[in-house]
Chains A and B, each alone.
Chain A
Amino acid sequence: MVALGLTLIYGVLNQINFAHADFVTVGAFTAFFTATRFATKVLGLPDTGGYLLSLVAALGAGAVLGFLVNAAVFAPLRSRGDELRPLIATIGVSVLLENGQLALFGPIPYQFDSPLARETIRLGRIFFSAQSLLVVAVSVAAIAALYAFMRFTFLGKALRAVAQDRETAGLMGINPNLLIGLTIVIASALAGMAGALLGPVVVLTPFTGASLIVKAFAIVIIGGFGNMQGTIIAGLLVGIVEAFTVQYLGSGLIDLVAFALLLTMLAVRPTGLIAERKEENV
C-alpha cells in the first residue's frame, strides 16, 4: 500500500514524494491515539471497534495532511513550472514532519497493540496473526477500490488523462491542478491507512516510516515507476522473496537480497515488471 501511493503520485506528477514515509507515520500515530485514547476512553467503544475506527481516522488524517501539504507547498511550487523545487520541497516536508512528530511524541517506542494482533491463526506449522490477515484484506480491498476508481469512474479516467498528458487534458476541459491535488490526497490517505495497519506490527516511533520507505521505493522501481499493476505484483514478489530469504539464507540478508533483486531488475528490465505502454501518433 505504501508503494502504491508512491507510484500513484509518480504516475500522475512524474515526481517522487520523499515525505510519503512520514505520512505513514502520521497515520500510525493517529490510529494509536484514536484507538487507545479517544475510541476506548472517550467513546467507550470495545477494543476491536476502537481499532476499526482508528483505521478510518488514519485514512482521514492522511488525506487531510496530503491536502494541506499540497496546498501549502507542492501546488505553489508546481505552478512556477519548476520540477526540481517540488522534489526538494518533499525532502523539506519530510524533515519537518519527522521532527515535528519527534517533538510531539518523543523517541521512546510506543506499544500499539490491536486486539487482532493478539489473535493467532494456525495452519499446521504456519502461523500468522489476525492483524496480518486484516492487513492483507484491507490492502486488497483498497487496491481493488483504487483500481476500479481509476478504470471505471470519470474522475479516474480524467486522472489517467492528466498522467498521460497534462496539457492536453487541460485542453479537454479537465482541471489538472484539481486532479493532481486529488491524487496526492488519495495517495496520502492510502499512506495514512497503511500506517494504521502497520502500527501494531512495527516498532512505532517517529522514524517508523523511514524503515518502510526504502523497501517501498525498491518495490516501485521493480514494479515499474507509475505502474499500479506492476507495483502490486512487485510488492508480493518482494514479500515472498524476503520470507524465503529469512528461512533459507538468514534474516541478515533480507536487505541484500531485496536490493539485489532491484539491481537485477534495473539491469535486465529497467522499465520494471510491467512496462508502461506509451503510444505516439507518428
Chain B
Amino acid sequence: MKLAIKAAIFAFACAALAAQAQDRVIRIGVAMPISGPGSYFGVMGKEGIDLALEQFKGGVNGYRLQVQYEDSACSPLQATNAVKRILDQFKPHVVVGDECSDASLAIAPILEQAKVVQLNAGSVTMKLTESGYKYVFRIFPNAEQQGPPLARNAYDKLKARNAVLLYEKTNAGQDSADGFEKFFVAAGGKIVARIDFGRDLNDFTSIATRIASLGKVDVLPTFALEGQTVRLAQALAQAKVIRGGGGNAIQMGSIWLPYGFDQKAGQAAEGYIRIVQFDPTEKRAIVQDFIKAFRAKYGADRVPTHINSHAYDSILLIAEAVRRGATDSESIRERFSRFKDVEVTTGRITFGPNGQNSDLSVIHFVETQKDLSWKGLDW
C-alpha cells in the first residue's frame, strides 16, 4: 500500500514536471515565402533560423524555442491564411515575417488583434510601422531609411542630377521609389522617368530601349527582386546605358539584393552601387562567428546573404528577450520595446516607439568592381 502511494506520488510529480517542461516553450511562428517568385527569401530565411535554433538547442533561460513554418508565397491572401493557421494550431508567442511588404501588411492587423508580436526582418514599406501597430517590430531598414542615403549620395557624391526610377509594382517598390524621389528632388535633382513593372515581367529590352532614348541619365535607382534586377542590369548594359555596358549611368540599389547578384549579372553589374547591411567581409566577431557556423552547416563554399543573417538575427533577438525574462507575447513585446544597442549580425538594434529599428550604424555603401567583388565606399 505504502509502495503504491509512493508510486502514485512519484508518477504525479513526473507528470507535473513534464507539464511544466511542456509549458516552458517559446513558440515562434514563421511566415515566409516558400513558393512563388519570392521563395528564395523563404529558403534563405529558413537556413538562418535553423542555424540559430541549433545554437539555442539547449534552451534559453530554461525555455525551449520551438518554430513552425508556414508558406506565405509573398502573397497577402496566402500570408493571411498562413498566419491564421499558425494562430489557430500553434498559438505562437511571436511571429517572424513576412519578407514581402504586401504580405507583411496583410498579417499585421491579424497579429495585432491577436496580441502576438510580429518581428519583421525583410519588408521595407513605411506603412508597416507607420500604422500605429503596437505589436510590430522591424529590424530591416524601411524605405525612408534607405532612400534618403541613396538620394543624398547620388546627388552629393556621384553629382547625379537626373535619375530614372525602376521599381516593382508592389508596396515595397513604390515606397522605396517614393523615398528616393522625395529626397533627390528636394536636393535639386530631377526624376526623368518612373518606370514600374510587374513581378512577372522577364524581358526588359523595351524598358532599356526606352531609357536609352531619354537622353542624359545619371543614376538608375532600382528596387526589384534579384532575378528581375539581373535581367534588367543585363538589358541596360546591352543598351549601353550603364557603366557595365560602356554607358555613363550608374545603377543604384538598396539592401534587397542578396550577395551573389553580381556574379549572376556578370559584367553588367560593374559599377553597381548599393547599400548593404550585412557584409561578409565585416570584422565584427559576431559576423565572423555567424559565417563560420553557416559554412560549417551549409558548405564551405557558401557565403551567407543578408536574408540568412536577418532571419538568424530574428531568433537572436527573441532569445535575448527570453534571456531578459520574457515568457509570453506581452513580455516579449515589452522587452523588445526596451532594447537598446543589442548587437546582432546586421548591426545593433534599438526599437523606436513605432517598432522600427533606428540604429543604422553598420549600413554602408559598396561598389561592384570589374572583378565583381565589392569595394566599400566611405560615404
Contacts and interface: CB of A to CB of B under 8 A. Distances in A.
Interface stretch (B21-29, B133-141, B208-216, B356-364): B208-216
Interface string A78-114: 0000000000000000000000001000111101010
Nearest to A245: B206
A250 B197 CA distance: 8
B195 interface: yes
Given A111-B264, A120-B238, A252-B198, A247 B206 contact: yes
B34 A242 contact: no
A64 interface: no
A14 interface: no
A125 interface: yes
A107 B202 contact: no
Nearest to A202: B202
A132 B205 contact: yes
A13 B263 CA distance: 45
A251 interface: yes
B307 to A, nearest CB: 10
Interface residues of A, number: 37
Interface residues of B, number: 38
A268 interface: no
Interface in B135-164: none
Contact of A252 (B196, B209, B230): B196
B76 interface: no
A257 to B, nearest CB: 12
Contacts of B56: none
Interface stretch (A3-11, A69-77, A176-184, A203-211): A203-211
Contacts, number: 95
Interface string A184-204: 000000000000001001111
Given A127-B239, A205-B227, A247-B206, A254 B198 contact: yes
A129 interface: yes
Contacts of A242: 206
B227 A109 contact: yes
B39 interface: yes
Contacts of B213: 125
Interface in A101-142: 102, 106-109, 111, 113, 117-118, 120, 125-129, 132
Contacts of A236: none
A181 to B, nearest CB: 32
A144 interface: no
Contacts of B263: 111
B225 to A, nearest CB: 8
A255 interface: yes
B3 interface: no
Contact of B238 (A102, A127, A210, A246): A127
A235 to B, nearest CB: 14
A107 B266 contact: no
Contacts of A113: 266
B209 A126 contact: yes
B40 A251 contact: no
Interface in B208-261: 208-210, 212-213, 226-228, 230-231, 234, 238-240
A266 interface: no
B341 interface: no
Given A109-B230, A202-B231, A252-B169, A246 B210 contact: yes
Contacts of A132: 205
Contact of A202 (B34, B40, B203, B266): B203
A204 B203 CA distance: 12
Interface string B22-51: 000000000000111101101110000000
B35 A102 contact: yes
A103 B196 CA distance: 32
B207 A246 contact: yes
A107 B34 contact: yes
Contacts of A252: 169, 195-198
A113 B267 CA distance: 12
What 8 pairs between A and B have smallest CB-CB spacing?
Answer: A203-B227, A107-B39, A202-B202, A246-B206, A109-B227, A211-B200, A252-B196, A111-B264
17 contacts: A106-B43, A107-B39, A107-B42, A109-B227, A113-B266, A117-B234, A125-B209, A127-B209, A132-B205, A201-B202, A202-B203, A205-B39, A210-B200, A211-B37, A251-B195, A252-B198, A255-B198
